[in-house]
Structure formats: C-alpha cells, structure tokens
A and B are shown apart, each in its own frame.
Chain A
Amino acid sequence: MEEKKTTEPVSEQAVMTVKDLRTALKTRQGILYPVDGVSLEIPKGKIIGLVGESGCGKSMMANSIMNLLPKNGYVAEGSILFQGKELTTCSKEERRKLSGNRITLIFQDPMTSLNPVIRVGKQVEEVLKLHKNLSKEEAKKTVIQMFTDMGIPEPERRYYSFPHELSGGLRQRVMISAAMICRPDLLIADEPTTALDVTIEAQILKKMKTLQKEEGTSVLLITHDLGVVAEVCDLVYVMYAGKIVEAADVRELFHHPRHPYTEGLLNSLPSRNRGRRLRSIPGVVPILTEMPEGCRFAPRCPYATDACRQKQPEMRQVGDSHQVRCVLDRELISEGGEANG
C-alpha cells in the first residue's frame, strides 16, 4: 500500500484499466449504448473523477464494473482489467468474490441503499462474513471499530440501529463503512454526497479522503459536481453522452479546459461566476435513441462547425497528461471565461 507518485494519467501502476467499453441495453427501440467506447485508467492510490451531466452514462459505467447492470443490460465490447484479471470474461463466482472485497461501491442515495429491515451493524458485518474468516465477536468488533473510524457517534448503540433511525449523513457513513471495511483496492463512489446537504457533504468527503490516503485505496468518484472534483480528485475524466470527451490532471483541467463541454461545465460553477449570472450549457444530453451523427456535443457547442456535425472526433493527446475529443485546436479560456463572457 505504499504511495507512488505519478503525475501521468496513464501509468503502469493502474489498478483498473477499462478499454473501449461498450455497455448495451436491449430495449424496444433496439440496442442502445449508454456507455459507448469508454477507456480509462485508475492508477493505484489515486482519486479519479468521472464527471458529467445526468444521463451521460456515468452510473452505467459504475454498474458495468460492478456487474450490477439491469436485466436488459450487458457489456457488449471492450475489457475491464482489474489487477490483471479480465472482469468481462471471468466467472460469476470470481466476480462475487471481488465485489464488496477488492472492488466496492458506494451508492448515491443512502436513504434507499440500506435494507430497511436489517440492523445497520449486521449489514456491514455481512461483508466481513462473506469475505473474511472472522469469528462472530471479531466481526462485530471490527464493525464497531470501523464505525468509530467513520466518526459515527455511539458506535456500539448504532450497531443495533435500523436504517430509519439514522440521519442521511450517518447512513452514508454506514455505507462507506461497508465499502471500506475489507480495505478494498478500488472504491467506486457513485455520487456519494449528492443526497446530502453541503456541511455533511464536506465531512463525508474529508472522511473518504483520509481513509483513502491511509489505505492507499484507488477511488473512482462519479459526480456531476465539479466543486467536489476540485476538492478531492487527482485526475478527471469528463464524460458526455456515453463517451469520454476530456481527460486531464485536475489542475490542468480546471486551468486549461480544452473541450467546449468542460468549459461549459466550469462556467456553470457559481464560484467561478462571482457577481455574474450563471451560464448554463444550452440544451440537454441527447437521448440514446437520437445520437447525433458527428460530434455528440455539436448540437450544444457554440464553436461547432459543419465538419463537427459530420465526423466524430477521436481522442487526441494535447499535453503530458491531457487528452481531448475535439477538433478545435485553440485553448479555450477557463479563468472566468473572459474571452467569451
């Protein structure tokens, strides 16, 4: 679990490498691809942000990795390599042994993610029972220790609480306890703080970051909140309509966004628009059945040309740790967006 300093998004130290992943959904309108050729790398001990609007395929991405796709969904193409093991082809039993143990998931809504009829201590203990060979007392002690580490007050009493007796913040702490108790190599956090209010959000993020540092866990943080990304992430992948449109080191991305979509997201941050009206990106994410032919962002892009609408741009390297899927060659203005404000 030693810390390795790497600045490049592409490194030999990757815990997980996703390559050209296409996740399909069988629907009445035919086969749709909410995740359409996504490649990303999660280096060891880093927090990776996966950012995008609702409906751009972020959660489908997480569910593909966790094997939690809906009944009509499946991974159609590509590979998910976890510590050298190909997840898309390995057996159900092997994946089950990894889930909750080496790869864990924190869900978006702590209010609905805990089983309402089981005591929360037991729900966390379930993970230990499945993956670790502990006696009953040891398991209980470990859970209570984890609750203490997570800053849950009166952990012995909370162990016996039912989810409805806990606040949203406490429930999310319980969820994180369950996700972290086996000291996983990769934690996927799917909008872990979206359902919480901001003060609780800050506490939870801090706690997650501390734990992540201590354990050297890699984190894939899925969020639509660039503020959260700026606070905790090392690297950022921006996702739009099922594709990665920009990938960069977090500083690089905030200071030199190359994709108009990233620029739009940054411009809609309140902190970057002090004293000015917030600017939103016009339009919405295209629905899966009506994907534009060329660049998927073209219909909403202020710089789009005819060429953009005809051919899909490829991902290209624009810096040491910076890739973008856009034909535009000039550096977009990010610092408050003066140039086109």
Chain B
Amino acid sequence: MIKYIVRRLIALIPVLLGVTLIVFTLLYFTPGDPALVMLGDEATPEAIAQIHEELGWNDPFWVRYFHYVVDLLHGDLGQSYTNGRPVFELLIERLPKTITLALISTAIAVTLGIILGIIAAIKQNSIFDNLCMLLALVGISMPHFWQGLLLMLLFGVKLGWLPISGWGEVGNVILPSLTIGLGSMAIIARMTRSSMLEVINQDYINFAKAKGQKSSRIITGHELRNALIPIITTIAIQFGNMLGGSVITETIFAIPGVGKLMVDSIRSANYPVVQGGVLLIACIYCVNNLLVDVIYAFVDPRVKTNLSNAR
C-alpha cells in the first residue's frame, strides 16, 4: 500500500510538469503587455523595453520556460507584477479561505446528496423520488454564477437574512457554500440513487434479509457500503470542481480567496500569480485524486487485493 502511494506520488511529477507547460504556453501567447500594466498609461517605450530586458522577456520561449521551471524547483513561484510580493506568499495567504469554502460546500453536498439519493432510491418512483430528481436536474442545469445571484437576491436582498459579500463572519460562508455545493449535491444525489438501485437488487441484499437483518441496518450496513464505491469517485470529482468553481463564486461574493486572486490577476495581466494559482489548484486536484484511490482500497477490498497483486 505504501509502495503504491509512493509510486503514485512519483507519477505526479510529470503531470505537474505538464500543467506548468500548458499554463506557461497559454499565458505566453496571451495578448497584452504586463509591462504596460505595471507602468501605467504614461509609460515610455524605453521604460517598457527596460522592464522586458530585466525580466528576461526577450529570451526565446524555451529559455523562459526553463528558467520558470528551475525557479519552481527552488520553491520560487515568482513575484507579483503589481505589488512585488512573492506569489507563494500571496497564495498561501488566500488558500485557507478557498479550502474552507470547498470543504463546507462538500460537506453540504455530500450529506444532503447522499441522504436524498438514498430516500429517492428506497421510495423509487414515488412522488418524493420524482421531486428529488427534478430538483437534482435543476441543480445540475443551473450555472454557478446564476445560482449565486439568485441566492443573493432571495436571502440577501429580499429577505435580508444573510450578507451578500465579504468574508470573516459565519454568515459570509453560507451563501457561497450553497452556491458551490448545490450543483454537486444534485449530482451526488443522482449518483447515490442509481448506485443504490443497482445494489438493492443484488443477491447479497436478499441474503442479508434472509438472515433476519433489520431494513435500516441493511441500508446502512450492506447497501450503502457497496453503493458508496462509485459515489466516492463522484464526490472526488466534485471536490475538484468546487475548487475550480471557487473562481467564479469568490468573485461574485467578493471573497478574498485564491479564485478571486486569480481572476484579479488575469485582469491585470499578472502572469506569475495566475501560473502559481493554476499550479496550486492542479496540485490539490492531483493529491485529491490520489486520496480517492487510497480511500477506494479501504471501501472496496477487491481493489486492495488488486493493488497488492500488482506488485
């Protein structure tokens, strides 16, 4: 198992290198001159040229990429063009907010999603089932920003229960978490339902019934444990999406997290920050995937056997 984890961690290196290459290339070809942003409208051509020279922007693409990767290996993500602070510091400062948001959203999505999914599966084809699945469909179809705006309008403006922007108080977390979490909740609910329905008809569920087990224990002890396997994948993918979704949600709700930092940086052509941000989220994504594969082995013993047989 430990061998497997180490192998997976080593395999992360080329993936992350790939990420740096893609991000670097994209930003390289993005029009707009960061030097203009740094110096303002009054910049003289000489000053711009000087900055280009200082930052090595006149070098060819591969040389610039090479320098970037070497710096990365030294733990240097570069400095922000706008205020000169190290990118690493900027990101670490904002990361807790983004992670908090993603975790709370995941918690909401997972708890509600699984509960709704189970009830829908048990009461298959009932009114409750149909209602749940209709809501889930709405949840999946509605884009985050639109959901966010509607929530703001209802709870912030009309009812005035919750603050519509900012960070720092408990109330600030609720609307953005809901915005990010509702879509995922809908997907998890649908996944749970179909996964449960598949398990409910298995022979081993009948075996559990024949043993005289209570229905409630059959659901939690036998059905859910098996149904959970595909649900975990969904949750993991959703967690990644929530991190990505934070870009939009943080902007809408004016939360000073990594997502908002990236959007602001794109607007000001602050490339090192954008690169750093994307790399950070990619890292979290990869670790998240690895974590899921490890959790798999614990939920499904067959996976564990395969892992130990593989070596």
**Count of A interface residues, CB-CB < 8 Å:** 30
Given contacts A96-B213, A114-B204, 16 further A-B contacts (CB under 8 A): A66-B209, A68-B206, A68-B209, A68-B210, A96-B212, A96-B214, A98-B212, A99-B212, A101-B212, A104-B210, A107-B203, A113-B206, A116-B300, A117-B299, A118-B222, A162-B301
Subset of 16 A-B contacts with CB under 8 Å: A67-B209, A68-B209, A96-B212, A96-B213, A100-B211, A104-B210, A105-B207, A107-B206, A112-B203, A112-B204, A114-B207, A116-B302, A118-B225, A123-B207, A162-B305, A178-B207
* 1/0 contact string of A100-127 vs chain B (CB within 8 Å): 1100110101001111111000010011
A76 at the interface (CB under 8 A from B): no
Query: Which chain B residues border A256 with CB–CB below 8 Å?
Result: none
Q: How far is the CB of A112 from chain B (nearest CB, A)?
A: 4
Query: Which chain A residues border B305 with CB–CB below 8 Å?
Result: 162, 164-165
Query: Which chain A residues border B211 with CB–CB below 8 Å?
Result: 99-100, 126-127, 130, 178
A255 at the interface (CB under 8 A from B): no
A316 at the interface (CB under 8 A from B): no
Q: Taking A99-B209, A100-B211, A126-B213 as contacts, is the C-beta distance between A113 and B203 under 8 angstroms?
A: yes
Which one, A68, A109, A117, A130, contacts B300 given CB within 8 A? Answer: A117
B79 at the interface (CB under 8 A from A): no
Interface residues of A in 277-332 (CB under 8 A from B): none
Q: How far is the CB of A269 from chain B (nearest CB, A)?
A: 29
B202 at the interface (CB under 8 A from A): yes
**8 residue pairs, one from A and one from B, having the closest CB atoms:** A100-B212, A100-B211, A99-B212, A162-B301, A112-B203, A105-B210, A115-B204, A113-B203
Q: Taking A112-B204, A118-B225 as contacts, is the C-beta distance between A100 and B300 under 8 angstroms?
A: no
* 1/0 contact string of B277-306 vs chain A (CB within 8 Å): 000000000000000000000011110010
Interface residues of A in 114-157 (CB under 8 A from B): 114-118, 123, 126-127, 130-131
**Count of B interface residues, CB-CB < 8 Å:** 20
Q: Taking A116-B226, A117-B300, A162-B301 as contacts, is the C-beta distance between A131 and B212 under 8 angstroms?
A: yes
Q: How far is the CB of B112 from chain A (nearest CB, A)?
A: 24
Please state if B202 and A99 are interface contacts (CB–CB under 8 Å).
no
Interface residues of A in 140-191 (CB under 8 A from B): 162, 164-165, 175, 178
Please state if B207 and A113 are interface contacts (CB–CB under 8 Å).
yes
A97 at the interface (CB under 8 A from B): yes
Q: How far is the CB of B39 from chain A (nearest CB, A)?
A: 63
B69 at the interface (CB under 8 A from A): no
Q: Taking A112-B204, A115-B204 as contacts, is the C-beta distance between A130 and B226 under 8 angstroms?
A: no
Q: How far is the CB of A175 from chain B (nearest CB, A)?
A: 8
Query: Which chain B residues border A118 with CB–CB below 8 Å?
Result: 222, 225
For B206, B212, B222, the residue with the greatest tally of chain A CB atoms inside 10 Å of its CB is B212
B51 at the interface (CB under 8 A from A): no
B12 at the interface (CB under 8 A from A): no
B208 at the interface (CB under 8 A from A): yes
Please state if B214 and A113 are interface contacts (CB–CB under 8 Å).
no
Which one, A98, A100, A162, A175, contacts B302 given CB within 8 A? Answer: A162
Query: Which chain B residues border A131 with CB–CB below 8 Å?
Result: 212
Please state if B301 and A112 are interface contacts (CB–CB under 8 Å).
no
Query: Which chain B residues border A130 with CB–CB below 8 Å?
Result: 211-213
